Amino acid sequence: MSAIANDEDAVVIVGSGAGGGTLAYELTSKGIPVVVLEAGPYIKNEDYTNDEWEAFTRMAWTDNRTNSGSWRIARDFPNLPAWTVKAVGGSTSHWSGATPRFKPHEFKARTAYGHVDGATLLDWPIDLPEMARWYDKAEIAMGSTHRHGRKPLPANNNYKVLAEGAKRVGYKYYATGPYATNAEEYDGRPASIQDGFNFQGDKNKSKWSTLVREIPRAEATGLLDLRPNSHAAQITHDARGRADAVLYIDENGAMRRQRAKLVAVAANSIETPRLLLLSASAMFPDGLANSSGHVGRNYMRHLTGSTFAQFDQPVNMFRGETMAGVIADESKHDTSRGFSGGYYMETISLGPAFLGKFLDPGAWGRGFTSFMEGYARTAGLWIVGEDLPQETNRVTLNAAVKDQHGLPVAHVHYDDHPNDKAMRDYAFAHTAALYESVGATRHYSTPPYPSTHNLGTSRMSARSEDGVVDKWGRAHDVPNLFISDGSVFTTGAAANPTLTIVALAIRQADYIATQLATGDL
Amino acid sequence: MTFDSTVPSGSYLNSLDEDATAKLARALRAIFPHDALAEGPYLRSAEAIAANVSGSPHQLGVVVEGIRSLEALVGGDLTAITIDDLSGILRHLQQTEFFQIMLTSTVVTLYSDPEVWEFLGYEGYSSDKGGYIDRGFDDLHWLPEPRITEYEGDDELVGYVPPVPGLQVSFDNTKKVATI
């Protein structure tokens, strides 16, 4: 690791997950030294555990947060609006691995869906043809199955139920991927041993994460100064309004100032706007890069839900790759279903510990325990669809509640849009029918978990009044400030977001390197 | 809490004793009834609650008094009524702090207990056993073997042509493309 002095003007990246970790690797591989400030510890693959709650305790971002709104999370998990990771590698260390691309129209949702009351739909300033080559690079980096010559994963038990149900209800677009976990050795990492643990981190390193690929490769360049346990507290600026440093709390609890010539924020879509809002100053009284008022707004978390169904025969859904099973048929935009946008269905498995907690939070008694007793005969799928941006779905600072560093915590407000409700109701009914077609005797419609896909709070826009960053993720208001995570999503699409975050980060690195080389930054 | 010899020792609540923990375990079984499950996991969940509340005089009091009032409601002995009858009584108490302490703690500890995992047919840690690649990840045989590759026909899910300025675009169905 190369040490970069605090008083040296550095390229500073906040966060080491899909966006930050990728950006760090891409920049260092181009010869650009970077400082990465990571709020969490350096947890390696061998440190992971297969115990769900123990893993959650070690890995999850459990710093205090508050939330409100009509979503059930506000009642069931009042201090846990999101389930993300606080560690080197960020949430790529617990993601499951599904890598669908956006569809062409999902980059143009305002045009495609038209005006929708209550929604702040906007077209992205980029489109799929422009993104295609970056998607290629991201899929090759991540080793997506079914792409670029990568073999598909075999069918596990949970997939067998999903796929046969899909076939019987008339779906066609089902497969065991694309999925960023090796079916055979690739890129120096081994094939999956079908151990069934993803949300707890993959001890076997078969699953792509920035922890197994980008971070060690960036370290190998000798140009990465990775600082774990370093919590960014404020981005400061000079008299011209350019970012000039990041104040952060180091591993010993001391406040430090890292001078910066460029700052890229990739702290996930709750912490990123929180940091911008915490960086308010006399020149930027509403928060840094917030002249539009959009910082923190348009928070999206995907329409989600799970269907767990039980059969007379054993399934043992927990054996094998958790999410290596995708049905894409409902990911189209077809308003005859009564809603705009679409959704995917992907296999999911929870152990008894998490199933007990999340199946129907607060449930107890024989109805609940009899379902738990059918655990080995249970199959599960996750519904992941596009939720619509709304300006009142929003991350703000809660001045009344402070974190362990004395900083105001993030407050997340979320109400379902009627479109979200219509899609979820439709998806629950149709996934239940899918499982009934293969003999399900009972099912649960499980409400959304604390959000794993957090998007949109610093959105990309062509015009500076409509969003926070431009088509490169560069802040409209601050020329040397970039956002490099899912916060930049103008709209959410139905696809799991990690692939798109990585593709955007690779593209952004290319742009930043060019700008630095030509002296435009 | 220090011992004051001027007060009878029974006046202090320091922790749940064995008897109280066993009663608590009975209440936990009424919340998460698994008739064929042995007493061990319920006792361990009760002990976890006992350990958790020992640091909070208020919560300790809530649990001790909760058990006492529950006993009073059933006429003195929690084992004298059926689990389902006890569940029925607890149904009326589910908004109380006592019940919520039992519920939120036990849903985590009971279903994280290896004895419960075995009871439910969950095989627990697998990474140190080589995963399931040779231990049944694909042993479901009551359904046909599915296709694992993607559908090879046309992609009918993409019904959108990127907009051209001035173009009217409508999306009545997925097949519809831009019209001027």
From A172, which residue of chain B is nearest by alpha-carbon distance? B151
In percent, how much of chain A has pLDDT > 90?
98
pLDDT (0 to 100) of residue B7: 45
In percent, how much of chain A has pLDDT > 70?
100
Residue A90 within a domain: yes
pLDDT digits (tens, 9 = 90+) for A247-297: 999 999 999 999 999 999 999 999 999 999 999 999 999 999 999 999 999
pLDDT digits (tens, 9 = 90+) for B134-175: 999 999 999 999 999 999 998 888 765 444 444 445 444 333
pLDDT digits (tens, 9 = 90+) for B39-81: 999 999 999 999 999 989 999 999 999 999 999 999 899 999 9
Confidence of residue A519 (pLDDT cuts 50, 70, 90): confident
Summarize chain A as % helix, strand, coil (round to 5). Answer: 30, 20, 50
Q: In chain B, which among 120-179 make CB contacts under 8 A with chain A?
A: 120-128, 130-133, 135-140, 142-151, 153, 156-163, 169, 171-174
Nearest to A194 among B110, B112, B137 (CB): B137
Per-residue CA distances from A8 to A3, A155, A245, A261 (Å): 10, 52, 10, 9
Confidence of residue B10 (pLDDT cuts 50, 70, 90): low
From A351, which residue of chain B is nearest by alpha-carbon distance? B122
Residue A239 within a domain: yes
Label residue A509 exposed, middle or buried (CB < 10 Å: 0-12, 13-18, 19+): buried
* Torsion of Cα atoms, A434 then A436 then A440 then A445, to 10°: 60
The total domain count for chain A is 1
Closest chain A C-alpha to B4 CA, distance in angstroms: 37
pLDDT (0 to 100) of residue A520: 78
From B95, which residue of chain A is nearest by alpha-carbon distance? A362
Residue A336 within a domain: no
Nearest to A164 among B34, B144, B174 (CB): B144
Chain A residues touching residue B111 (CB < 8 angstroms): 351-353, 355-357, 372
Chain B residues touching residue A50 (CB < 8 angstroms): 124-128
Closest chain B C-alpha to A152 CA, distance in angstroms: 7
From B122, which residue of chain A is nearest by alpha-carbon distance? A376
The DSSP-derived string for A38-77 is: -SS----GGG--S-HHHHHHHHB--S--EEESSSTHHHH-
Chain A residues touching residue B112 (CB < 8 angstroms): 51-53, 352-353
pLDDT (0 to 100) of residue B160: 56
CATH number at residue A125: 3.50.50.60
ipTM: 0.94
In whole numbers, what is the pLDDT of chain A averaged over residues? 97
> Which amino acid is located at A340 in the chain?
S
pTM reported for the whole predicted model: 0.95
Residue A259 within a domain: yes
Closest chain B C-alpha to A126 CA, distance in angstroms: 11
Per-residue CA distances from A197 to A201, A369, A467 (Å): 7, 24, 38
Residue A153 within a domain: no
Chain B residues touching residue A152 (CB < 8 angstroms): 148-149
Please give the sequence-ordered ranges of beta strands (E in DSSP) within A115-242, or none if there are none: 174-175, 224-227, 231-237
Chain A residues touching residue B133 (CB < 8 angstroms): 192-194
Average pLDDT of the segment spanning A419-432: 97
Residue A127 within a domain: yes
Answer yes or no: do A50 and B126 touch at CB < 8 A: yes
Q: What angle do CA A484, A487, A488 make, to 5 degrees?
A: 70
Closest chain A C-alpha to B82 CA, distance in angstroms: 13
Closest chain B C-alpha to A76 CA, distance in angstroms: 11
Chain A residues touching residue B110 (CB < 8 angstroms): 356
Domain that holds residue A517: 1-45+84-95+100-144+209-300+456-521
